[in-house]
Chains A and B, each alone.
Chain A
């Protein structure tokens, strides 16, 4: 299964992502999930970036929070817009989940 997962929170209390084992995993960081792409705590990047996945972060949600593509700390995270999310869902993945 090709699964794309929306991560919309910064602090998560469940390990759902650890339990998912799709053949292809996409993680789209949206809403407060964008902080995973931009924020280091005590110098360490978010453990959210440790999965074997294709990472995306929504530009509009970055900008709303006073952030931009320049703040993204890991080059494996691709900055995308709303329209790109639609393309990803229709063309790259079979299912989507919202965490």
Chain B
């Protein structure tokens, strides 16, 4: 029985490119690979927003209304539904003067039990050290 750990690090703001949202779709897709794995093997995915990437986490994004596009916010909520570990860098939120009330924290409307964790960068570093594969977006 083996566990493969994937870490997705988002460091750029969204929408100008698909890049940040791809991190989330890849993380979500990583949870559907069971049919290719041996019994007992699992893949985990952690997602971290750092630097300007924390701007992806602002709530009340109206991407469907304006772009006819699923929002990055909804992708974060979908990640929580799948019990993925979503971390946001506290220092970078502070740098932008943002607080937890400005960002996506939970997704009860999606039936998700998990919540986003706002953590110091040191904790994100620890998460990254713990991964088998790190992907930067």
Residues of A within 8 A of B (CB): 8-11, 31-32, 35, 39-43, 60-61, 63-67
Contact = CB atoms under 8 A, between A and B. Distances in A.
Contact of B66 (A9, A40, A42, A61): A61
9 contacts: A8-B16, A10-B55, A32-B15, A35-B55, A60-B66, A61-B15, A63-B66, A64-B61, A65-B13
Contacts of A11: 52
Contacts of A35: 13, 55
Size category of the B interface is: 20 to 34
Interface in B14-35: 14-16
Main secondary structure of the interface of B (DSSP, over half): loop
Nearest to A9: B16
B117 interface: no
Contacts of B59: 66
B115 interface: no
A40 B96 contact: yes
B37 interface: no
Given A39-B55, A39-B96, A40-B97, A66 B61 contact: yes
